[in-house]
Structure 1
């Protein structure tokens, strides 16, 4: 497979992942962190870091909006639930110092 095709396929997979996460707003970031070790915020940070590597300046809020499909504060108000004590404990155990 040539590099251009590989890049196109990777971009398509990224877009599909982002769309899936937008559609599954019921899935909380803390659950994603506890199960998979990353969340929407991680994905937006990776996007921003990749942009910087390519000489494109992008702010965190802009990168988050690309992933969330809306401003982060708006997404939080619409979809984010308070984490339970169990979720917080699991996160703290898996991510010491985070």
Structure 2
């Protein structure tokens, strides 16, 4: 294990999280259902985890606000621009593999 301080570790984790969010924003071609089917989480999961972390620290964060933080714009706008109807195969894979979180 490295000799990072807690503050250094937290700063690195925050930087990695920001990079992941930016990557997902630039890869709007990757649908949430594909993320769910392959990785067991999606942008909505990240926004829920963000909101839960805020609430655990005593901060109220509405669902739509946490989604805007992850998507970089209001969720409805992102959906209108990027979300496609899931195929029957994608829906079937989701039903088989959907996580319990």
Partner of 1:78: 81
Q: Give the TM-score, by structure 2 length.
A: 0.93
1:34 equivalent to 2:37? Answer yes
Deviation at 1:97, TM superposition (A): 8.1
Task: String of CA shifts for 1:23-57, please: whole Å, max 9, x gaps.
Answer: 00000000000000000000000000000111111
Ranges in structure 2 where 5+ consecutive residues have no aligned partner: none
| RMSD of equivalent CA atoms | 1.5
Q: Give the TM-score, by structure 1 length.
A: 0.96
Aligned residues: 98
Q: For the structure 1 residues 97 and 50, does the alpha-carbon distance in structure 2 shift closer, same or farther, using more than 3 Å as the test?
A: closer
